Amino acid sequence: MFNYQIIIEYDGTNFLGWQKQKKGRTIQAYIEKTLKKVLNEKINLIGSGRTDKGVHAVAQSANFFTKNEIKKKNKFLLSMNFFLNKTGISLIKICKKKLDFHSRFNAKMRTYTYLISNREGGLVLNKNRAWQIRRRLNHRSMQSACNLLRGKKDFSTFRSASCNARSPIKTIEQAKVIKNQDTIRIIFKSKSFLQQQVRSMVGCIKYVGEGKWSVNNFRKIIRLKKRSSCAPPAPPEGLYLSKVDY
């Protein structure tokens, strides 16, 4: 038995998310179907984590076990991408791992990036790939809000009602805002996140950037630990799983 890790890029616009379901298009299901076609055996793909409907990935990590060694990795990638060509999914790397490697449980850090287009004109190149906000945002206030999210905290305010995590306590190692002309990127790093946590935090940070909330208001809603205090979550099209560290 052999264990392989693959790095995947995808546009989540037309998918119901990562995890396979009985009905509907999912990233995991499409890749498993293609793996079966290329390797001629049923494959169970293990992802580093789930991404929701409409969320994208620059470098999703996953692993799978196969009976046969993949000796020609470039040929394997070419074959996989040939069949995945029109799906919005691309395999960008494959590497052989030890049998005890697990994409989810061995992950030490996950990085998510949220992309905001802060301009009046409509989106063309970034349509379905960024959140367009026409009202001018104060990125410095947004950074001040991000600073309050760093460290080990109870993130119940940003936790989806359907989240099944055992604890709302997470540790955010990095939360920063990068502005380049009309583009704002908000980057979060943590070992793991609650369901819809990133989008919920971005929705609240946007309120601060617009001036609807002060930084002190944002501090209070974190301390309240109530989902009802949270601003509407940011839409999925601006969210990217950008890196998984091991």
Q: Which CATH number, 3.30.70.580, 3.40.50.2300, 3.30.70.2190, 3.30.360.10, labels domain 2-97?
A: 3.30.70.580
In the DSSP assignment, the letter for residue 17 is B
Give domain limits for the chain.
Answer: 2-97, 110-245
Q: How many Cβ atoms are within 10 Å of 43's Cβ, its own excluded?
A: 17
**According to the model, what pLDDT value does residue 41 have?**
95
Which pLDDT tens digit goes with each residue over 74-99?
999 999 999 999 999 999 999 999 99
pLDDT at 97: 97
Q: What is the DSSP letter of 228?
A: G
Say which CATH topology domain 110-245 has: Alpha-Beta Plaits (3.30.70)
Q: Which residue has the tokens 């940070």?
A: 205
Percentages helix, strand, coil for the chain (3-state, rounded to 5) are 30, 30, 40
Sequence-distant (≥ 6) Cβ neighbours of residue 74 within 8 angstroms: none
Fold match flag (2-97 vs 110-245): yes
In the annotation, is 52 catalytic? yes
Residue 150 CB neighbours (<10 A): 16
* Positions in the chain whose pLDDT score sits under 70: none
Please, which residues bridge with residue 185 across strands? 115, 178
Is the pTM higher than 0.85?
yes
Alpha carbons 186 and 239: distance in angstroms, whole number: 9
Number of Cβ atoms within 10 Å of the Cβ of 208? 24
C-alpha span between 39 and 111 (Å, rounded): 31
Q: Which of 11, 52, 100, 245 is catalytic?
A: 52
CA-closest candidate to residue 110, choices 18, 180, 206: 18
Q: pLDDT of 63-74, one tens digit each?
A: 999 998 999 999
| C-alpha to C-alpha distance for 161 and 31, rounded to whole angstroms | 29
